[in-house]
A and B are shown apart, each in its own frame.
Chain A
């Protein structure tokens, strides 16, 4: 007769890039229940955002995440622009899309590398990191930094991308495209990858909707939910279409991201092609007043910022709901029934960002 035992999984674990603990109830090697314990990197950034003025908050909020930092500042700026009734120049909207999609690419490549690492495929991890390096160089070239770009500002963007740098971005995308051929082949067809991912950590479309799953976790179950479809920034002009899979397992979540990499490259190429001339920011005066819910699609899914301005330079309230926070409840539904050895893969398959989650 099997006996139940509870083990702490994390917060320090070779697979986890950031600290999170799962208290797992096991029957032999089978997980029957899971409970998350977070709070290992809670920084109180929401409170700090109320102490700083709303212009300084652009820099602060960009630092919520060390992976998709640009997305945070972009969402915040879009929210404040809505409160101020501030129009954003067309060129700035396209530049935002270019940086956002480049960020998505580096985030997805990091995910693929960490996923390969989670089942011991070190060589594939290194190939992903090598490919990602080209993307990081694009960011360094255009913004001066590799991750924290700080190019987004209220009313537009702070920095333009000149034509010669656009050519270099296109060349870098070609190099990434060539490397992705091999990566795609390995991730889609390799026996080890399939053996470890197919049928592991399954979630149905109904469960995904019920538990509030977002991003690739929802899209892998066939739930076509991607805020880029709403056409914010310049996505309307670029003709975005959501990528979905139907299996709902770890392999499907990986495939969504793999396919999105191609889509990102296509979006960046199209944005460069259609990039209009003109100013890159709109000057403004005044302080924000009112409440706004700002949302964009991050690499991990829907990001929501609630911003309340009271007419002063300090915000009344800033609240962030990051996609990993939303994907914790679906994770708790994926884990029961799986083997203990599959827990790291399932956790990594939601691409958790704990710094975002705890803020």
Chain B
């Protein structure tokens, strides 16, 4: 079953109201999709009433934040954390914040799903405090020869 997307644009001010309205109408949340548009991000909220899909589209400017809808649909919390991991968007109001570590490992690239993403490593893992200096290789020390007392030594 495939359907072309015809999404209703929403703003930060009316997002929660629209989502609450959909919940009242008996819709369930399927998921959220985030897209990097270059000048920011677009977040598409996919809902379904039985089998009919309804989509909301929210633009998030570069450096902007997203408001969590998990106060209305708790299950949104997991996918909102995933968006934070993948796109580096800050999400306000998350009941459980995985700090960008839901699916990404500690040395993963920062916001890897962004188009402009290079291989910048997320350096939130602190380096060990002490730096170990590797000394240049030196020839192996000669084995210490046990000293034998000279003949006719101490009696």
B113 adjacent to A302 (CB under 8 Å): no
Interface stretch (choices A110-118, A318-326, A339-347): A318-326
A42 adjacent to B103 (CB under 8 Å): yes
Partner of A304, one of B4, B46, B78, B105: B46
Asked if A82 is at the interface of the complex by the 8 Å CB criterion, the answer is yes
Distance (whole angstroms) from the CB of B43 to the closest CB of chain A: 11
Give the dominant DSSP class at A's interface.
mixed
Asked if B75 is at the interface of the complex by the 8 Å CB criterion, the answer is yes
Residues of A within 8 A of B77 (CB): 329
Distance (whole angstroms) from the CB of A327 to the closest CB of chain B: 10
Docked Cα-Cα span, A122 to B86, in Å, equals 41
B46 adjacent to A306 (CB under 8 Å): yes
Asked if A211 is at the interface of the complex by the 8 Å CB criterion, the answer is yes
Which residues of A, 94-119, contact B by the 8 Å Cβ criterion? none
A321 adjacent to B1 (CB under 8 Å): no
Residues of A within 8 A of B74 (CB): 210-211, 329
Which residues of B, 20-47, contact A by the 8 Å Cβ criterion? 28-31, 33, 35, 44, 46
Q: Mask for B1-14, Cβ within 8 A of A = 1, else 0?
A: 11111000000000
A39 adjacent to B104 (CB under 8 Å): yes
B3 adjacent to A306 (CB under 8 Å): no
Asked if A166 is at the interface of the complex by the 8 Å CB criterion, the answer is no
Tell me how many residues of B have a C-beta within 8 Å of chain A: 31
Distance (whole angstroms) from the CB of A96 to the closest CB of chain B: 13
Residues of A within 8 A of B103 (CB): 38-39, 42, 358
Once A230-B51, A358-B103 are accepted as A-B contacts, the answer to whether A79 and B2 lie under 8 Å apart by CB is yes
- Report the number of A-B residue pairs with Cβ-Cβ less than 8 Å: 95
Most buried by B among A212, A328, A329, A358: A212
Distance (whole angstroms) from the CB of A256 to the closest CB of chain B: 19
Q: Mask for B49-89, Cβ within 8 A of A = 1, else 0?
A: 01101010000000000000000011101110000000000
Residues of B within 8 A of A306 (CB): 5, 33, 44, 46
Docked Cα-Cα span, A47 to B105, in Å, equals 16
B31 adjacent to A229 (CB under 8 Å): no
Residues of B within 8 A of A329 (CB): 74-75, 77-78
Those 7 A-B pairs whose CB atoms lie nearest each other, nearest first: A329-B75, A82-B2, A321-B31, A291-B5, A294-B2, A232-B1, A212-B75
Interface residues of A (CB under 8 A from B): 35-36, 38-39, 42, 44, 46-47, 78-79, 81-83, 209-212, 225, 227, 229-232, 290-296, 302, 304, 306, 308, 316-317, 319, 321, 325-326, 328-330, 358
- 16 pairs, CB–CB < 8 Å, chain A vs chain B: A39-B105, A42-B103, A78-B2, A83-B4, A212-B30, A212-B73, A232-B2, A290-B4, A291-B4, A292-B5, A293-B3, A304-B30, A306-B5, A306-B46, A316-B35, A326-B30
A78-B1, A293-B55 given; name 10 further pairs at CB < 8 Å: A38-B103, A47-B113, A82-B4, A83-B4, A210-B75, A294-B2, A304-B30, A317-B33, A325-B31, A329-B75
